[in-house]
Amino acid sequence: MNKLKVAYGSGAICGGCCTAILDVHEKIFDVIDRFDFVYCQMLCDPKDFDHADVGFWEGTIRTKTHEEELKSLREKVDTLISFGTCACYGGLPGLSFYYTIEAMLRKIYIKTRGTVDGKIPDSKEVPELERGLLPADQLVEVDYYIPGCPPPPETIANFLLAVSEGKKPEVEHKTCCSECSRRMTTPAERVRRKVGAFDESFVVEDHQKCFLSQGILCTGSVTLNRCGAACQENGFPCMGCSGPSLEVLREYERDPMRMVVKRLALLSGEDPEKVVTEREFKKIEEQLYDLRHQFYAFVSTHPVMWRRRSSKITELLKFEGE
């Protein structure tokens, strides 16, 4: 069998997506049998390549160097995959969209807890940061999207093996709720608190009950299922790392925050079928805080998300000088 050539380019990343390619367990042998990595800074040595059948792009675009690298990759590959949530929607680096570059650099290099006598790098060799962060499809044409932070091994392996056989890869269309075994019950408790992996006060009392029904935010109902509800099954609510559900992406008037708040409002009453009034909606909204992290942590910089009229993102951007 002729092996397909793979090239792998990177923008602003943490490295998790590339590592995930090596994490496909025993399927790594099939991958190695069918693919040759001709360019990948993390996996092999070549500094350039002429042509590849498949190109992966990981990360959001933050500098001119990223932009040049992405455009060059697009020119040299037949099929380009936007790989990981950073590449597809801006991902976590997109949270810096809410801050000025100066505020962000000050925070990272000077004000971080534990930093002593910090200094912002000023070498001319370090590419300058652009104010905006762009997902890959804002600069080049993308053939496939594989969101996930990082995409799960099974998704990667199934995708690569389908491509190697000339088949159209199958993609998951459902939300995380579809795989979650927790029961939604009414009436839901009032919104209790901000929760997250680093919130020390985070205690889940009922491990069978839906987080929303316990008054804890979970974005599983507006998030594409790439993980089999991995967090929920292990005691944590979904933070949306696989990017928006197809319903959110396709319907321009849908906004993740509005959808989750509406669901909470429905669950709060005795009748989950009733129409939620604006007053009920506002009552729940008033109990929330840190909306940027709760609802938009992974998608803030994609125009398809922040340009929609229903989105809160542009309103939240007003705090950018923080």
Is residue 231 a contact point for ligand SF4 (CB under 6 A)? yes
Contact pattern for ligand SF4 over residues 17 through 46, marking x by CB under 6 A:
x-----------------------------
Contact pattern for ligand SF4 over residues 252 through 291, marking x by CB under 6 A:
----------------------------------------
Taking contact as CB under 6 A, which single stretch among the options 13-21, 74-82, 121-129, 193-201 is the one that binds ligand SF4? 13-21
Q: Which residues contact 103 (CB under 8 A, 6 or more apart)?
A: 320, 321, 322
Which is closer to ligand SF4, CB of 174 or CB of 274? 174
The CA distance from 101 to 205, in Å, is 41
Torsion of CA 275, 279, 283, 284, to 10 degrees: 30
Which is closer to ligand SF4, CB of 19 or CB of 112? 19
User: Please, what is the minimum distance in Å from the beta carbon of residue 62 to ligand SF4?
Assistant: 12
Is residue 245 a contact point for ligand SF4 (CB under 6 A)? no
Instruction: Name the residue among 216, 148, 220, 212 with its Cα closest to residue 177.
Output: 220
Q: Which residue among 35, 40, 49, 58 contacts ligand SF4 (CB under 6 A)?
A: 58
Is residue 61 a contact point for ligand SF4 (CB under 6 A)? no
Size of the site for ligand SF4 (CB under 6 A): 36
Which is closer to ligand SF4, CB of 3 or CB of 249? 249
Is residue 91 a contact point for ligand SF4 (CB under 6 A)? yes
Contact pattern for ligand SF4 over residues 138 through 167, marking x by CB under 6 A:
-----------xx-----------------
> Applying CB under 6 A, which residues contact ligand SF4?
13-14, 16-17, 58-59, 84-86, 91-92, 149-150, 176-177, 180, 182, 184, 210-212, 218, 220-221, 223, 227, 229-232, 237-242
